[in-house]
């Protein structure tokens, strides 16, 4: 028989659980920077594990020196990136006046006027094509400068975060066996072997995935930069860099990159004749970007998203699509690593399940 005391006790427990959950979420929100450092350090650790193993097995370094050598490679790469690439982005960003909202609005409206004149010269009703409403009232001109300011601000204020990430990465690499053994102790002895196998496979698959992803972004950047240089687009480094970064977002990122490249190409050439220079150059750049994306979709992505995580391309596409509907862009970015972890854990702990057997036959 349910008494008022039992009901009150249940309500009290529910309230306590809700309050504790809210406090935990609030605490995680307050330390979100630390969580980001941990996630970035974990990604660097996964990337660095193959390098660490190379130093240990091939060059016969002891574990500490192999860890230091791996971290030194990260530092050299990051330092080279900062010294050679970031000044170009900063200087070209200032030259492009993309950080000035007023300049963007003025340039965009000037471009719209040129497009309107071009349409009218070809006997096309511009009011139907562009809409009779005031375009300036519909466009948020803060999008581009805010986007650039976020990237450049993150880069410029990354000093302390970079030091923290490298410090954490050093101990993740150096003490990886201790961390693994500590995690294993939290798991019942009956599942210890499955947990060890899962961690080993996850480490191997995600290491390959993140290394491949970095290689893909570098290749895409070089190809984008080549297209922009061929057609003489001003400020090619910043445009190529921004468009390459957008490729982190599967499938949608390249589409956004094409639109962004078209807009920035037109703004960069503003002052030239629209019909003879701006429009043809923009079309050529778009065609070049689409060719790059065809190369990327048929060569880079299948290798990275399929072979590196041992999944079928259609399977990966559906996972990314579902994650995008449920969690947006962040879900799309995290979909492949998280799905890979779930597959590995499922195969180790539920090896007889028919669905899991079908999905993990290549792992």
Task: Express each pLDDT in 158-192 by its tens digit.
Answer: 667 778 888 888 888 888 777 777 766 766 666 66
State the angle between helix axes of 192-230 and 32-57 in degrees (0 to 180), rounded to the nearest 10. 100
Q: What pLDDT is stored for residue 45 in this prediction?
A: 85
- The per-residue pLDDT string of the chain (363 residues; one tens digit each, 9 = 90 and over) reads 556 777 777 788 888 888 998 898 888 888 877 887 888 888 888 888 888 888 888 888 888 899 999 999 888 887 776 676 565 555 555 555 444 555 555 666 666 677 777 666 666 665 555 554 444 444 555 555 565 555 555 555 566 777 888 888 888 888 877 777 776 676 666 666 777 777 778 877 877 888 888 888 888 999 999 998 988 887 788 788 888 888 888 778 888 888 888 888 877 766 666 667 777 888 888 999 999 888 887 777 766 767 777 777 778 888 888 888 887 777 887 888 888 888 888 887 777 777 777 777 776
Query: Does the predicted TM-score (pTM) go above 0.75?
Result: no
The pLDDT value given to residue 130: 54
* Cβ partners under 8 Å of residue 45, min gap 6: 169, 172, 173, 176
Per-residue model confidence (pLDDT) at position 336: 83
Q: Which tokens hold the place of 135?
A: 């375009």
Residue 253: the pLDDT is: 83
235-265 confidence digits (pLDDT tens): 788 788 888 888 888 778 888 888 888 888 8
pLDDT of residue 60: 85
| pLDDT (0 to 100) of residue 133 | 43
Instruction: Give the model's pLDDT for residue 132.
Output: 45
Q: What is the pLDDT of residue 99?
A: 45
Tell me the C-alpha to C-alpha distance, in Å, between residue 223 and each of 87, 239, 338. Answer: 21, 12, 29
Which residues on neighbouring strands pair with residue 269, listed in sequence order? none
């Amino acid at each position: 028989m349910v008494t008022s005391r039992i009901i009150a006790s249940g309500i009290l427990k529910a309230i306590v659980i809700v309050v504790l959950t809210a406090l935990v979420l609030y605490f995680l929100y307050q330390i979100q920077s630390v969580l980001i450092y941990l996630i970035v350090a974990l990604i660097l650790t996964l990337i660095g594990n193959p390098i660490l193993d190379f130093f240990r097995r091939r060059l016969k370094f002891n574990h500490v020196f192999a860890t230091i050598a791996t971290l030194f490679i990260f530092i050299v790469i990051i330092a080279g990136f900062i010294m050679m690439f970031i000044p170009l982005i900063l200087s070209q960003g200032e030259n492009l006046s993309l950080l000035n909202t007023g300049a963007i609005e003025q340039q965009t409206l000037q471009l719209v006027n040129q497009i309107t004149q071009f349409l009218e010269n070809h006997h096309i009703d511009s009011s139907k094509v562009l809409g009779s409403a005031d375009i300036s009232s519909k466009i948020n001109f803060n999008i581009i400068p805010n986007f650039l300011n976020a990237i450049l601000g993150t880069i410029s204020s990354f000093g302390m975060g970079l030091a923290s990430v490298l410090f954490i990465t050093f101990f993740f690499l150096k003490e990886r066996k201790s961390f693994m053994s500590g995690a294993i102790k939290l798991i019942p002895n009956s599942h210890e072997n499955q947990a060890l196998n899962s961690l080993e496979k996850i480490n191997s698959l995600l290491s390959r995935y993140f290394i491949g992803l970095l290689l893909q972004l570098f290749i895409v950047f070089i190809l984008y930069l080549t297209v922009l240089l061929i057609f003489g687009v001003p400020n090619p480094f910043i445009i190529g860099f921004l468009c390459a970064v957008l490729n982190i977002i599967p499938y949608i990122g390249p589409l956004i990159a094409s639109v962004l490249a078209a807009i920035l190409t037109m703004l960069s050439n503003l002052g030239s004749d629209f019909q003879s220079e701006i429009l043809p150059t923009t079309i050529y750049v778009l065609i070049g970007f689409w060719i790059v994306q065809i190369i990327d979709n048929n060569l880079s992505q299948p290798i990275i998203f399929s072979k590196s995580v041992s999944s079928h391309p259609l399977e990966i596409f559906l996972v990314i699509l579902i994650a995008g509907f449920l969690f947006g862009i962040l879900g799309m970015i995290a979909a492949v690593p998280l799905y890979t972890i779930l597959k590995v854990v499922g195969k180790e702990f539920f090896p007889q399940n028919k669905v899991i057997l079908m999905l993990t036959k290549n792992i």
